[in-house]
Amino acid sequence: MSHIQQMIVSPAARLQEVSEYYFAKKLRELRERMNKGEDIINLGIGNPDMAPSDDTVKALINSAVEPHHHGYQPYKGIPALRNGFANWYLNTYGVTLDPEQEILPLIGSKEGIMHISMAFLNPGDQVLVPNPGYPTYTSVTRLVEAEPVFYALTEENGWKPDLEALAAQDLSKVKLMWINYPHMPTGTNASLADLEELVAFAQKHQILLCHDNPYSLVLNKEPRSIFSVPGAWEVAIELNSLSKSHNMAGWRIGMVAGAQPYVDTVMRVKSNMDSGMFLPMQEAAAAALNNSYEWHRARNEEYAERKVIACQLLDTLGCSYATDQAGMFVWASTPDGTDGFAFTDAVLDETLVFLTPGGIFGSEGNNYVRISLCTPKHRLQEALERIRERQLTSV
Ligand SMILES: Cc1ncc(COP(=O)(O)O)c(C=O)c1O
């Protein structure tokens, strides 16, 4: 029910090409169906269902009971959190960051995409955006009235950008390029040589390379930072996040790393938008960054077991996929190149199992689907049984 038929003012022009996030709409639809009693198994969204480490939750509780821990906090985060990120970068990627000047904690890395875009883009600037890729790169680019220029990632190219073809285009208006490895949604990892080529490309064309790196610890044997590449400091910044790697998606904790002038520029935007992060969450995040190797291994083992069932489900549907994907999804082509939207709608209607149509990540994803591993094994197994049943009845 709405109290009014029409607003007295029209939305800003910048919203003309931006619609509500696909998942916001789709999840509302699924929720409505579930409220009516349909037992939908949602294998769509990458929302980790496992808990953060015990030490993380204890740190939150212990800090929250302190009466003086409830005030505004420094815009650039508490030293313990920035030091935690710096140690984590050193231990995970072998990269040294100065916690005073090269790290800015964020309220989730998604907001970082907006801050970076506001900090560096003028209306009319062009931005290289992966197709398929995380939809927020496109919508935020449009929100700041810049222009997304899509670069195709295709199965034939191993889901890597064709930098030679890109260099042959007019790049004079391109100011920024989004890259994301391990790549969502395709699960492709980048080798050090791939990242070196990207850095060299950014240097040659004077483009700010923004590496979005939230999946590096999930089912990935070789976590890499863009700063593993010599020369990256001049041309690159990196987003990272505790959402997937530490099971803390709802906490909204991420960070941007980069050379001081870049981080300071992002800070000029961010400090005008929020007023710091809740101290107990920062202390808990610092504790999470100390999670043991064993904690990460156990989380990955659970995802690996789920992946086996997810792959059986995809096999049953007649989908094909690469077996070396990193991250918390499996990306697969639909049988006989069927349209992913029609395919996932049919699967949903017939089995009440929801898979993500690859087309929401861009046109190059049209004939693909993405299945998330953020569902317990017994539910994945149930989804598999329903799909087996469907295949039997449709034969
Ligand atoms: C590629 C990519 N980047 C960024 C994000 C945002 O993560 P965060 O929870 O840190 O905002 C996501 C979340 O799904 C993602 O898939």
- Tens digit of each residue's pLDDT (9 = 90 or more) over 325-348: 999 999 999 998 899 999 999 999
Average pLDDT over all residues of the chain: 96
Q: Which residue CA neighbors atom 5 of ligand 1 most closely? A: 110
Q: Which pLDDT value is given to residue 338?
A: 93
Query: How far apart are alpha carbons 190 and 198 in whole angstroms?
Result: 10
Cβ neighbors of 168 (< 8 A, separation 6 or more) are none
Mean pLDDT (whole number) for 33-47 = 94
pLDDT of residue 1: 77
Residue 84 identity: G
Whose C-alpha lies nearest to ligand 1, atom 4? 110
Distance from C-alpha of 203 to C-alpha of 234, rounded to nearest angstrom: 8
Asked if residue 395 has pLDDT above 90, the reply is: no
CA triple 15-20-21, angle to 5 deg: 125
pLDDT at 361: 96
For the residues 124-137, what does the mean pLDDT come to? 97
Q: Which fold has domain 13-51+294-394?
A: Aspartate Aminotransferase, domain 1 (3.90.1150)
CATH 3.90.1150.10: which residues of the chain? Answer: 13-51+294-394
Residue ranges, comma separated, of all CATH 3.40.640.10 domains in the chain are 69-288
| pLDDT at residue 24, as a whole number | 79
Mean pLDDT of 1-7: 91
Give pLDDT tens digits for 235-252: 999 999 999 999 999 999
What is residue 101's predicted lDDT score, i.e. its pLDDT? 98
Cα of 230 to ligand 1 centre, how many Å?
A: 26
Nearest ligand 1 atom to the CA of 249 is 9
pLDDT at 22: 75
CA of 110 to the centre of ligand 1 (A): 6
Cα(43) to ligand 1 centroid in Å equals: 17
25 pLDDT tier (thresholds 50, 70, 90):
confident
Which residue, by CA, sits nearest to atom 2 of ligand 1?
134
CATH number assigned to the domain with residue range 69-288, chosen from the 4 options 3.40.50.300, 3.40.50.720, 3.40.640.10, 3.30.470.20: 3.40.640.10
CA angle 12, 110, 241 (to 5 degrees): 170
Q: Which residues line ligand 1 (CB under 6 A)?
A: 46, 108-110, 134, 180, 184, 212, 214, 241, 243, 249, 254
Specify the pLDDT at position 33. Answer: 92
| Span 36-64, average pLDDT | 96
What is the residue with the minimal CA distance to atom 15 of ligand 1? 134
Query: Which atom of ligand 1 approaches the CA of 243 most closely?
Result: 9
CA atoms within 13 A on the CB side of 392: 6
Ligand 1 probe mutation, 138, 241, 356, most atoms within 8 A of CB: 241
CA distance 293 to 93: 14
CA of 68 to the centre of ligand 1 (A): 32
Residue 134 CA, closest ligand 1 atom number: 1
Q: Where are the alpha helices (DSSP H) in the chain?
A: 22-35, 54-64, 79-93, 109-120, 135-143, 163-167, 192-205, 232-235, 260-270, 279-288, 293-317, 340-351, 377-394
- What is the per-residue pLDDT for 391? 74
Dmax (CA) for the chain in angstroms is 66
Distance 214 CA to ligand 1 centre (A): 6
Report the atom number in ligand 1 closest to the C-alpha of 254.
10
Sign of CA dihedral 389, 43, 290, 287: negative
Mean pLDDT on 265-273: 97
pLDDT at residue 20, rounded to an integer: 73
Encoding tokens for residue 2?
């709405």
Q: How far, in Å, from the CA of 49 to the mean position of ligand 1?
A: 15
